[in-house]
Amino acid sequence: MKTNYQVTAGLRQRSTKGFTLIEITLVISLLLGLIAVLFIGITAYKAGSDKAKCQLIQVTCQKAVRSYQNLGSHNIGDAVTEADVVGPGLYAADPGIVCPDGVSVLSYAATIPVEGTAWVTCTGPSHNVANTAGW
């Protein structure tokens, strides 16, 4: 911070305090750098949360199709559609079954899958559940 002393007509000194242009520029550039880092972190967080939500939707739909199979006495390989399993009053309430990233697409198998196979898959990068053993 710079202090300037000015002499007025009455020979009294008056000080004016303020920041130099370089100091203000430095503070602004530092703040902009911190904001840029924040935006990068938010983008990575959003991508991770989209992936986790997509996997949660897949797990929920898998449990719903197994409930449909068990409670309806259906067999592995029987035909099943999304409308049979997902929707109000069915085995999974309609959570807006779309991939949260807005780009990827969820696809459903046409039949009840064998154990260990996912009924719902996503086209998103690494959105599919890695371990489906016991499904």
All structural domains of the chain with their residue ranges: 2-122
Residue 45 scores a pLDDT above 90: yes
CA-CA distance, 17 to 20, in Å (whole number)?
A: 10
Residue 95 scores a pLDDT above 60: no
CA-CA distance, 47 to 116, in Å (whole number)?
A: 27
Residue 5 scores a pLDDT above 70: no
- Most confident among 17-21, 42-46, 130-134 (mean pLDDT): 42-46
Residue 3, φ and ψ in degrees, nearest 5: -120, 125
Which residue did the predictor score with more confidence, 129 or 3? 129
CA-atom Rg of the chain in angstroms: 30
Burial zone of 87 (CB within 10 Å; 0-12 exposed, 13-18 middle, 19+ buried)? middle
Q: pLDDT tens digits, residue range 113-125? A: 999 999 999 998 8
pTM to 2 decimal places: 0.72
Residue 101 scores a pLDDT above 70: yes
